[in-house]
A = this chain, B = another copy of it.
């Protein structure tokens, strides 16, 4: 087992890549560094991702976007899978609760791996994982009473808001630029309200409520 068969797998590679991205940033994710972390030569990774780094990036995006993974990520790997309990069986909770839960879970997953955000931008979400989310959105908005023609735009708005909120938060928490502009009398309203708002979590919920209210009409 020393030379060949070092126990590599796509799962392990992706997990280790994410650890590097989260800890040192996307730029630091190098095939050689990843190989080192996996106790393997860099080229060994190409046996599991023959199309190279781009393919690995795609797998990372899909891994992050998988809501089932987010739940199992924190918990210790108990061992066996759940076997036959795979079918979604038509969630009975009210539509808005389903959407809110999805939004919070997705936001949490993106925030946990915010270093990988640039990877998502130019990849089309056409995997089964992504389509499951869209299906969930469409069904919920239809159930909310929206006209069929309005459903896709509503789902797009919801997804836009969640991703955008994460980007907004990550941007605001980034390193300050070399020459930040002073908040002086040029920006009176900003100066007056500076730091008075709620934290990002509460702000997210507020905006989400507003968007859902605006999309589905009525006060809630």
Contact = CB atoms under 8 A, between A and B. Distances in A.
A160 to B, nearest CB: 4
Contact of A211 (B127, B138, B210): B210
Contact of A193 (B123, B152, B165, B196): B152
Nearest to A140: B189
Interface residues of A, number: 75
Nearest to A136: B189
Contacts of A181: 126-128, 130-131
Contact of A164 (B164, B175, B189): B164
Contacts of A51: 178
A177 B124 contact: yes
Interface of A: 51, 55, 58, 114, 117-118, 120-128, 130-132, 134-135, 138-139, 142, 148-154, 156-157, 159-165, 167-168, 170-181, 183, 186-190, 192-193, 196-198, 202-203, 206-207, 209-215
